């Protein structure tokens, strides 16, 4: 018995997924992993505890176990996953996935190691370590181990996304701890570049972007801090339709407090204000900017007596209820893209909620707005078809606030009087 060889399994779940048992390795090369790979990865991630059937069904298909169809689908998927293991590692490998009393688990007979387990252990040790040198070495090891997001390409599973976000935040904590080590070693000048390098593996992690701005401030590179702040807010609007300025407001105040660059040449101010290139599509902005533009347009309508229309477009289920955001990311991006490309460059779009967009259409009456919406919907259906979703829309004319009597009428009408002269 003492001479029995123990089978060891090594799994890489961050970045490109791979499983090594003995001397053989299998890996998922697909950009979007199939359910077989997803099931295998979930069992390996939870290899120390069994998972109930309904837990697996929610993680794999994102709905409740509501009958024999879902149970049969799970059994069929387990069968196909066992076939993959047998084909790759031999006929006995099908026994690595066990079923007992309504639960599935990865066989404890295998000595299983995953990069996620190692990464999380390193994180715990980093928090408890006080030695600067030792903490720096541990941070480097943990950051090297984080090869990328957990199961990249899997978007429909909320369970996978929750794990991905948790590990990404741990990676951000490691990066912050390493910045602390470098600061204690008086190496603050290159901290922003260190953060930018770390961001390559987690480009949409808000903690890392906050850290990068803070490091620019630490290095007293205020102009670059302001430029980076603008890049980050634009990135989140573009990629996620999300306004992150409230989360960065404290850092923006620090930038404003320390930033002393005040150009006196109006041409340089104009260059800074204008867009980097001529853009043909509609203008996309956060809700705060949209509200200000609406108010300006309402004033223009009141002065010029020209119409303008506001439109609300909503992604909804066929019964009219609102879907969860994570389940409509593809459709949300398609609707945004359709609206941006279909409208004029002077029109304005914002994300009002996870499933809604607001459109501001200057010099447009309700009939013209209806035609614009038809154009958007036609473009949207070319990009994306989902029989379980529909796009609802409502529109109203832009309305100015009630006019308040001015205490200085002569000054208010000065420009109009000069025109008459």
Q: Which tokens hold the place of 346?
A: 């002077």
N- to C-terminal Cα distance for the chain? 108
pLDDT per residue as tens digits for the range 110-149: 899 999 999 999 999 999 998 999 999 999 999 999 999 9
Average model confidence (pLDDT) across the chain: 85
Q: What is the largest CA-CA distance in the chain?
A: 108
Three-state DSSP state, 112: strand
Please tell me the predicted confidence (pLDDT) of residue 412.
43
CATH number where 174 lies:
1.25.40.10
How many domains does the chain fold into?
A: 3
**pLDDT for the residue 58:** 82
Asked whether residue 419 is assigned to any structural domain, the reply reads no
In angstroms, the CA 254 to CA 42 distance is: 43
Pairing type for strands 24-27 and 283-284 reads unpaired
| CATH (domain of 57) | 1.10.10.10
Query: 417 pLDDT band (50/70/90 cuts)?
Result: very low
Domain span at 90: 8-114
Q: Tell whether 294 and 360 lie within a shared domain.
A: yes
Kindly compute the dihedral angle of the four CA atoms of residues 357, 360, 364, 367, in this order, to the nearest 10 degrees: 20
Q: Are residues 166 and 252 in the same domain?
A: yes
- Residue 303 lies inside a defined structural domain of this protein: yes
- pTM (predicted TM-score): 0.64
Which residues are CB-contacts of 332 (< 8 A; sequence separation ≥ 6)?
241, 315, 325, 354, 355
**Residue 342: which CATH number?**
3.30.70.270
Taking only the tens place, the pLDDT of each residue in 291-308 is 999 999 999 999 999 999
Q: Map tokens 């252990």 to a residue.
A: 121
- 273 in a structural domain: no
- Residue 348, pLDDT > 90, answer yes
Residue whose C-alpha is closest to residue 92's, from 11, 21, 2, 12? 21
The pLDDT, as a whole number, for residue 414 is 44
> Picking from 108-117, 121-130, 187-196, 264-273, which range would have the lowest pLDDT averaged per residue?
264-273
138 and 49 both lie in a single domain: no
In a domain, 55, yes or no: yes
- Residue 268: what pLDDT? 55
Q: What percent of the chain has pLDDT over 70?
A: 87
**Of 114, 134, 162, at which residue does a domain stop?**
114
Q: What is the pLDDT of residues 79-110, one digit of tens each?
A: 999 999 999 999 888 899 999 888 999 998 88
Q: Give every CB contact of residue 14 below 8 A, 6+ residues apart in sequence.
A: 115, 116, 119, 145, 146, 147, 148, 149, 150, 167
Last residue of a domain, one of 85, 114, 143: 114
**pLDDT tier at 322, thresholds 50, 70, 90:** confident
pLDDT of residue 272: 66
DSSP summary character for residue 14: B
In the prediction, which pLDDT does 146 show?
94
- pLDDT value of residue 1: 40
Kindly tell me if the per-residue pLDDT of 378 is higher than 90: yes
- Provide the pLDDT confidence category of residue 415 given band limits of 50, 70 and 90: very low
CB crowding 110-144: b at 16 or more within 10 Å, else e: bebebbbbebeebbeebeebeeeeebbebbeebbe
Residue 85's contacts (CB-CB under 8 Å, 6 or more residues apart) are: 40, 93, 94, 96, 97
* Residue 411 placed within a domain: no
- Given the DSSP bridges, would you call strands 348-353 and 283-284 parallel, antiparallel or unpaired? parallel
**Residue 162 tokens, joined:** 């929750």
State pLDDT tens for residues 59-77. Answer: 887 654 455 578 888 899 9
Q: Are residues 218 and 250 in the same domain?
A: yes
**Radius of gyration over alpha carbons of the chain, in Å?**
28
Predicted local confidence at residue 405, as pLDDT = 55
105 & 136 share domain: no
pLDDT band for position 4 (50/70/90)? Answer: low
Domain identity same for 217 and 321: no
Question: For residue 312, what are the β-bridge partners?
Answer: 358, 394
In DSSP terms, 8 is beta-bridged to 111
Residue 413: its pLDDT value, please? 45
Same domain flag for 56 and 119: no
Domain C-terminal end among 218, 242, 258 = 258
3-class DSSP assignment, residue 317: strand
């Amino acid at each position: 018995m003492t001479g029995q060889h123990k089978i060891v399994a090594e799994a890489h779940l961050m970045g490109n997924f791979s499983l090594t048992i003995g001397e053989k390795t299998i890996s998922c090369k697909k950009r979007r992993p199939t359910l077989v790979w997803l099931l295998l990865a979930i069992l390996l991630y939870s290899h120390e505890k069994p998972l109930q059937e309904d837990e697996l069904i929610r993680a794999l298909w994102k709905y409740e176990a509501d009958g024999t169809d879902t149970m049969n689908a799970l059994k069929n998927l387990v069968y196909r996953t066992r076939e993959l293991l047998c084909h790759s590692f031999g006929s006995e490998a099908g026994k690595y996935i066990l079923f007992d009393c309504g639960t599935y688990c990865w066989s404890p007979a295998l000595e299983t190691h995953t990069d996620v387990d190692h990464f999380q252990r390193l994180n715990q040790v980093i928090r408890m370590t006080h030695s600067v040198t030792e903490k720096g070495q541990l941070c480097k090891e943990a950051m090297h181990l984080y090869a990328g997001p957990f199961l990249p390409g899997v978007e429909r599973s909320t369970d996978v996304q929750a794990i991905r976000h948790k590990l990404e935040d741990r990676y951000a904590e490691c990066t912050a701890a390493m910045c602390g080590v470098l600061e204690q070693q008086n190496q603050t000048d290159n901290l922003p570049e260190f953060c930018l390098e770390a961001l390559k593996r987690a480009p949409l992690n808000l903690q890392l972007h906050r850290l990068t701005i803070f490091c620019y401030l630490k290095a007293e590179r205020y102009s670059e801090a302001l430029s980076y702040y603008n890049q980050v807010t634009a990135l989140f609007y573009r990629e996620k339709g999300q306004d992150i300025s409230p989360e960065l407001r404290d850092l923006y105040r620090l930038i404003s407090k320390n930033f002393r660059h005040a150009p006196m040449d109006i041409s340089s101010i104009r260059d800074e204000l204008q867009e980097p290139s001529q853009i043909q599509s509609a203008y996309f902005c956060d809700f705060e900017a949209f509200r200000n533009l609406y108010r300006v347009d309402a004033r223009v309508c009141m002065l010029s007596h020209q119409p303008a229309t506001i439109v609300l477009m909503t992604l909804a289920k066929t019964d009219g209820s609102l879907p969860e955001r994570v389940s409509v990311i593809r459709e949300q991006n398609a609707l945004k893209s359709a609206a941006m490309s279909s409208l004029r460059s002077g029109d304005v779009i914002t994300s009002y909620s996870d499933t809604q967009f607001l459109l501001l259409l200057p010099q447009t009456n309700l009939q013209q707005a209806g035609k614009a919406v038809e154009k958007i919907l036609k473009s949207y259906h070319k990009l994306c078809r989902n029989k379980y979703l529909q796009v609802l829309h409502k529109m109203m004319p832009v309305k100015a606030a009630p006019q308040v009597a001015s205490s200085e009428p002569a000054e208010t009408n000065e420009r109009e009087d000069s025109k008459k002269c």
